[in-house]
Amino acid sequence: MTVLAKPLRIASVALSLALPLPAFAQQAADTIAPEAATTTAPKAVVHAQRHMVAAANPAAAQAGLDVLRAGGSAADAVVAVQTVLGLVEPQSSGLGGGAFLVWYDAASGKVTTFDGRETAPKAATGDLFLGTDGKPLKFFEAVVGGRSVGTPGAIRLLEAVHGRYGKLDWTNLLDPAIDLATNGFTVSPRLAALVADDADKLGTQASTRDYFFPTGKPIAAGQTLRNPAYAETLAAIAKDGPDAFYKGPVADSIVEAVRSHPINPGLLSGEDLADYKAIERPAVCAPYRGLQVCGMGPPSSGALAIGQILGMVEPFDLATLGPEDPESWRILGDATRLAFADRERYVADADFVSIPKGLLNADYLSIRSTLLRRPTALPQEGVTAGDPPWDKAELRRDGASFDMPSTTHFVIVDDEGNVASMTSSIENGFGSRLMTGGFLLNNQLTDFSFAPEEDGRAVANRVEPGKRPRSSMSPTIILRDGKPIFALGSPGGSSIIPYVAKTIVALVDWKMDISQAIALPHLTNRFGTYDVEAGTSAVSLVKDLEALGYKTAVKEQNSGLQGIAITANGIDGGADPRREGIAVGD
């Protein structure tokens, strides 16, 4: 392929996305969740010179931009963006949840990460999600109520990153969210649709009913909604700092909401909140085609899985194959399945279980990569966990855990060139459906394996007191020669891993711009079924994938990627057309 042919081919992919949906795909789009019935035509790339914010909601992005304009650092803007997101996109993230942040520090050239993941209550044990019959609960039986609520970590994370890299006064950074909560914000179409869609769970919880169904009907798109309780909580945190969240009346009301749920009470205590700590951890970085792909290590499986996928596909010439060749997707899809096999077997909170140190070992990945040298799909029995170098081998059983879509990702670049890439979550849409102090409480504990052991062997991701549930969140910063060139991430449960890996391949191998790479239709294969994004040009690959031996499923893909590219010409920002995100900058 000539160098010139490449952009033309890419343009044709992007253009075909904007065409009317074929009838079969339209039908699929009509039957899927309302938030997913959007287009995958790329949003325009936003170009800036000095600083940028790309976030899932325009009001939150604007709040971050205002902080950067006032001379704030990316860390300052993180505080403003997160607290506004907790108001305008309450279903996804907020004070009642947790987050992971990857940070590039321009002054030292170092990448570090902050872990604000929820913890299991000290009183929790391996049987937390087993019913009275000893069998794992059904997912939503576990989610709704207090049982699934872990100690929220978001505010301690904000405190940690602001303490290290902030320039502006903490108090003022909460003003945008306090103003919007007091004077009202405009309910977005996506929030309104999700509230209506969740009426059976959200509308039946006393703590959420009055806020989301104020007249008995779900809040409507375009209406102005006030949240005085949220303003009050933030005012306390502004005045007295994060301790006002983790101790005293706010903490008491969280514990009360969790423990007094009439059907499904939980175990969270005042001590769990008072003792919670965000943890700074070294970034996990993996090489890919001369770049360094850096992200979040355990308790997230994100950077390890993405590093493994990229390591396994690197020997293949994906650039020449291109995004329209099913062979590219065979290689990517089976690499993802192999990475997921290791993830299920080995990855959990490393403060509690030993994780093989060789999951990103080059020799190990090269052996795993040879499994992809075949003409057709790997048979399911061939997709097993490998044997990575490990100094403390243990017999392990594969786990199974659920990941459901909500969550949010944002990226920020400041005037000094610092970069923040943060994925933040209350897990399921609207979390545990419990609300207190104007914010929703997470259900992050359902990211643990419900079964603590299988056939007498321990599952790595079992519930243990104080442990952090394994995540798929993959906030990422990619460096060339030590300088950041891309930052990205997404919501989407365990599909986050293939969403982000695909976007990296689209940027690096297929030379797409940030918006095209984000919008490129998703084809994800985690557990054997090749999931092909409904309503997109990818559906035309279904026949070829079936011929390679895959079972396919055409379904919505609920990503919410936000990303930036830093080039010699400035900063390019892109937001996922599947949700309401936007990039803004100067």
Positions that interact with ligand GLU (CB under 6 A): 403-407, 425, 427, 444, 447, 471-473, 491-493, 496
As measured in angstroms, the least distance from the Cβ of 118 to ligand GLU is 9
- Mark out the alpha helices in 56-119 (DSSP H runs): 58-69, 74-88
Task: Check whether 447 is labelled as a binding-site residue.
Answer: yes
Task: Check whether 117 is labelled as a binding-site residue.
Answer: yes
Pick between residue 118 and residue 314 the one whose CB is nearest to ligand GLU.
118
Pick between residue 444 and residue 449 the one whose CB is nearest to ligand GLU.
444
Task: Check whether 86 is labelled as a binding-site residue.
Answer: no
Please write down the long-range contacts of 377-383, taking CB distance under 8 Å and 24 or more positions apart: 377/330, 377/333, 377/334, 377/548, 377/549, 377/550, 378/334, 378/337, 378/338, 379/549, 380/528, 383/334, 383/337, 383/338, 383/341, 383/528
As measured in angstroms, the least distance from the Cβ of 562 to ligand GLU is 13
* Active site (catalytic) residues: 407
Distance CA 241, CA 340 (A): 40
Residue 215 neighbours by CB distance under 10 Å: 7
Angle between the 496-508 and 302-313 helix axes, to the nearest 10 degrees? 40
Backbone angles phi, psi at 68, to 5 degrees: -65, -40
Is 408:85 a contact under the CB 8 Å cutoff? yes
Task: Check whether 369 is labelled as a binding-site residue.
Answer: no
Pick between residue 85 and residue 234 the one whose CB is nearest to ligand GLU.
85
As measured in angstroms, the least distance from the Cβ of 330 to ligand GLU is 26
Residue 275 neighbours by CB distance under 10 Å: 13
Ramachandran bin of 437, using left for φ above 0, alpha for ψ from -120 to 50, beta for the remaining angles: left
As measured in angstroms, the least distance from the Cβ of 23 to ligand GLU is 30
Pick between residue 298 and residue 405 the one whose CB is nearest to ligand GLU.
405
Short-list 323, 339, 405, 446, CA closest to 576: 405
Short-list 48, 149, 207, 174, CA closest to 427: 149
Task: Check whether 301 is labelled as a binding-site residue.
Answer: no
Pick between residue 76 and residue 398 the one whose CB is nearest to ligand GLU.
398
As measured in angstroms, the least distance from the Cβ of 131 to ligand GLU is 22
Q: Which residues are annotated as a binding site for L-glutamate?
A: 117, 447, 471-472, 493
Binding site, by residue number, is 117, 447, 471-472, 493
